Amino acid sequence: MKTFDLYEDDHYYFIVSEYIRGGSLMKQFKENGKPYSEWTTYLIVKQILEALVHIHSKDIAHRDLKLENIMFVSTNKNDFNLKLIDFGFSEQFDR
């Protein structure tokens, strides 16, 4: 997820980020009403693992990986492009 700007006042931080239209993986599971095909599941799991490999290569551990933190980019039911969000519990680690 792209972050464009960060503002703060005496009490809060405000983050301006891209709008991800498709909703969470959890929401899609609930709305789909049937299991994903083997191929669709492969596409989803592959992207999740690629995202984890990428952040781990930057020495970052997400630490809050769950269906609600995996978002579909598009509302198109045939578009399975995903983004990993919510790095609030993430930490940098030493190798």
Active-site residues, by number, are 64
Closest CA to 44 of 62, 64, 28: 28
**What are the C-alpha distances in Å from 61 to residues 2, 41, 93, 95?**
18, 23, 7, 12
Residue 90 near residue 60, CB atoms below 8 Å: yes
Residue 78 near residue 40, CB atoms below 8 Å: no
**Type of residue at 28:** Q
